[in-house]
Amino acid sequence: MEILKLTSEDIAKLKTMVGRESEPYKVEADKSMFWQLAEAIGDTNPLWQDEITAKKTQYKGIIAPPAFYISFWMNPLANGKIILPITGRRGFDAEHEWKFNAPIHPGDVITVKSKIINVLEKQGKKSGLMAFCTYETTLTNQHGVKVAVELGIQVML
Amino acid sequence: MALYFEDVQVGTQVTPLVKHPTTRQLVMWAGASRDFVEQHYDKDNAMDRGLPGVIVHGALKASWLGQLITDWIGTNGILKELKCRYRGIDYPGTEITCRGKVIKKYIEDGEHLIVCEIWTENSKGEQTTTGSATIALP
């Protein structure tokens, strides 16, 4: 696999994406997603996996762990639902911010929508030309409640 | 176990969470989170990218910082906001400690809120992920 260097033409192409909403997609949350994520991170919190204990809490049942919002299920830029107009470049996540407004329960159908809100060009000392792409993703449940908003910065170089 | 607003002050430490990631765990995270980027499980691919070996997913470290908080606050607290900045690379076979400290305590719109500074630390004491968490407590 050949890795290409980012050029100013690439950055111009990325900038054409700014403001464009991605095609929304739906994810049906289910318990097995929650416990597999919990098992992977080594998290035994009953809220994500033990219905009997979770029922006795303020949530009245199992809810999604933070890892569910953090996962690629909910990240269209990372999971390929947003196709960038450039290929073969390296990218990495620089930062993420999640606002959790309401819990996600098993059976909820989450609509994931994203848009790139800014592309900033930077010149790295060692890494050369870089593009800092800021995006916003909203997660809305089947009742129209915006359950979470994510802001992320992905760096392309 | 429940944590109450009155229990914490600015400066209170979050109970640390220690992790010993393995390549097996990275594969489990890859499958559960749908992140199939090769540098996290394919050593040849990671080395082609100039890395000494496979590396821990940033999102896995972010999830551990989430767990740091949800373990600490119990089922009565609510994690409202989580911020992470990925600063350094971590490798399987090393020890990663998640830590936090309360930096703000306030009441807003009737909610009892605290803000914690949070980070992951490698065995050299370097912070490889930094961020913050906003929490509502009873």
Task: Yes or no: say if B59 and B39 are a contact pair by the CB < 8 Å rule.
Answer: no
Lowest-confidence pick of A84-88, B3-7, B29-33: A84-88
Q: Which residues pair with A135 in a beta bridge?
A: A116, A152
Q: For residue B113, what is the domain's CATH number?
A: 3.10.129.10
Closest approach of B91 to chain A, Cα-based (Å): 15
User: Is residue B66 less than 8 Å (CB to CB) from chain A?
Assistant: yes
Angle (CA) A108-A113-A114 rounded to 5° is 145
Beta-carbon contacts of residue B106 (< 8 Å; ≥ 6 apart): B113, B114
State pLDDT tens for residues B78-87.
Answer: 999 999 999 9
Of the residues A51, A62, A72, the best mutation for testing chain B's interface (the one with the most B CB atoms within 10 Å of its CB) is A72
Is pLDDT above 70 for A99?
Answer: yes
Question: What is the distance between the alpha carbons of residues B2 and B81, in angstroms, rounded to a whole number?
Answer: 19
3-state helix, strand, coil in chain A (%, to 5): 20, 35, 45
Q: Would the pLDDT of A83 be above 90?
A: no
pLDDT, chain A, mean: 92
Domains of chain A plus CATH, in order, are: 8-156 (3.10.129.10)
Q: Measure A9 CA to nearest chain B CA, in Å.
A: 24
**Residues of chain B with C-beta less than 8 angstroms from the C-beta of A47:** 70, 75
Would you say residue A1 has pLDDT above 60? no
ipTM for the predicted complex: 0.95
pLDDT at residue A119 greater than cutoff 60: yes
For A11-60, the pLDDT digits (tens) are 999 999 899 888 999 999 999 999 999 999 999 999 999 999 999 999 99
Asked whether residue A88 carries a pLDDT value surpassing 90, the answer given is: no
pLDDT band at B1 (very low <50, low <70, confident <90, very high): low
B95 and chain A in contact, CB less than 8 A: no
Q: Among A126-130, B7-11, B33-37, which range has the highest average pLDDT? A: B7-11
Strand partners for A93 = A154
> What is the average per-residue pLDDT within B110-130?
97
Q: Count of domains in chain B?
A: 1
In this structure, are residues B102 and B46 in contact, taking their beta carbons and an 8 Å threshold?
Answer: no
Domain of residue B26, residue span = 5-136
